[in-house]
């Protein structure tokens, strides 16, 4: 039996994928084999020694100690693309609402003491205060062309916008999914100088903290729109406040309210609604639970932020899963130990990601604790697991 501990409000559709005959599931589970979460910060919790995997029902993992888990040979799974449509739709809404000053106009006439005559007079004399601009023909800059950024870019074309995108690490998959009308640029400066509106879709890392700052605003057009449904700290809020005051920004729409931001009438700050749709929550939970189950039951890796994808076709053999530092002769040492103890390797898969490698080995007979201990002692092995029973 595997023990699963979950935090936050994980969709029932995801949790119920853990069958009761193989899993014990709960919020208060002690010594879990896997942890499933959304926004719970686990940097400070004591990780159980038997922990095998962590899964986030979402994309960003800045609430998870990925570096520490990697050093222990523990994969961290997420759900890339599962909330893509939800965030894309909110970005499009942000573009439409901010370009037409909808929130400010609504607030202007929102007084219960107004009579119908008062309202008629008010909107006839003051509607020009909230004149906006049309998106058709304007330029949208998309910073980050992952699943969400790609979807936003493609959808903005349908609004008649010119779309330019910046992502030096764009994948082959996302490159193929971009519509031909999206222009990829090599420098962020091109986005800043040419865009009427900019939307951010980048992770929060040491390199991207305050990615958008005062030097960026100095290059932007007057009365631009900035949209941030990525992470709060990729934008310097003090620089945003100044840019709003200087009319460099007409509006800042974000999913990360702070006391500084919500006091500014040009800011539309939402309470982290980006992926808060019924469909997105179900999709995220379903994807991450599916991948955690596949890892626990079969040793396969898919959609991990710190491990390479590694999928070995299921068989009725006995499987060994090994995480190790990506150094020469590791597979050779493992193979030698197995051969010396009479094990025949029926199938093997070795994949790497940066400094880490992951190996799946299918063997002709059950694994003994003695052989596992021998492999565990190889310098560079981070974790080793007997996937166990014959796989079906």
Query: Which are the catalytic amino acids?
Result: 231, 260, 272
Q: Give Cβ neighbours of residue 34 (< 8 Å, ≥ 6 apart).
A: 2, 3, 4, 5, 51, 52, 53, 54, 55, 292, 296
Strands (E), the chain: 2-6, 23-26, 34-37, 53-56, 76-77, 139-143, 162-166, 183-185, 197-200, 224-228, 249-254, 267-269, 318-325, 345-353, 356-363, 381-386
Three-state secondary structure call for residue 21? coil
Give the separation between CA 79 and CA 304, rounded to whole angstroms: 9
Q: Environment class of residue 277 by beta-carbon count within 10 Å: exposed (0-12), middle (13-18) or buried (19+)? A: middle
Q: How many Cβ atoms sit within 10 Å of the Cβ of residue 263?
A: 10
Q: What are the angstrom distances between the C-alpha of 51 and each of 331, 339, 383?
A: 24, 29, 11
């Amino acid at each position: 039996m595997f023990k699963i501990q979950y935090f936050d409000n994980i969709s029932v559709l995801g949790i119920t994928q853990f069958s009761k005959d193989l899993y014990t599931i709960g919020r208060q589970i002690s010594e879990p084999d896997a942890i499933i979460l959304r926004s719970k910060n686990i940097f400070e919790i004591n990780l159980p020694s038997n922990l095998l995997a962590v899964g986030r029902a979402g994309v960003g993992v800045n609430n998870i100690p990925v570096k520490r888990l990697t050093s222990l040979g523990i994969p961290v799974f997420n759900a890339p693309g599962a909330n893509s449509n939800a965030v894309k739709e909110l970005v499009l809404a942000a573009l439409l609402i901010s370009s037409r000053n909808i929130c400010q106009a609504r607030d202007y006439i929102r007084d219960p003491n107004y009579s119908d005559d008062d309202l008629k007079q008010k909107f006839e004399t003051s509607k020009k205060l909230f004149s906006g601009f049309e998106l058709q023909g304007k330029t949208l800059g998309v910073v980050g062309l992952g699943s969400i950024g790609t979807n936003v870019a493609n959808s903005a074309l349908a609004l008649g916008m010119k779309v330019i995108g910046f992502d030096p690490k764009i994948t082959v998959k996302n490159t193929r999914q971009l519509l031909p009308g999206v222009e990829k640029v090599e420098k962020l400066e091109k986005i800043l100088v040419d865009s009427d509106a900019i939307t951010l879709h980048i992770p929060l890392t040491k390199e991207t903290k305050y990615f958008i700052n005062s030097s960026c605003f100095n290059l932007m057009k007057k009365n631009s729109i900035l949209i941030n449904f990525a992470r709060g700290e990729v934008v310097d809020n003090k620089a945003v406040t100044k840019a709003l005051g200087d009319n460099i920004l007409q509006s800042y729409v974000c999913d990360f309210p702070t006391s500084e931001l919500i006091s500014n009438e040009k800011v539309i700050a939402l309470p982290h609604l980006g992926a808060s749709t019924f469909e997105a929550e179900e999709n995220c939970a379903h994807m991450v639970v599916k991948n955690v189950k596949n890892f626990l039951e079969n040793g396969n890796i898919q959609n991990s932020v710190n491990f390479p994808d590694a999928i070995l076709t299921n068989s009725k053999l006995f499987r060994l899963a090994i995480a190790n530092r990506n150094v020469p002769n590791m597979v050779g040492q493992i193979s030698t130990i197995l051969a010396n103890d009479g094990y025949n390797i029926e199938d093997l898969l070795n994949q790497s990601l940066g400094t880490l490698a992951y190996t799946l080995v299918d063997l002709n007979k059950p694994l003994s604790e003695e052989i596992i201990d021998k492999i565990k002692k190889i310098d560079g092995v981070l974790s080793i697991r007997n996937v166990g029973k014959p796989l079906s």
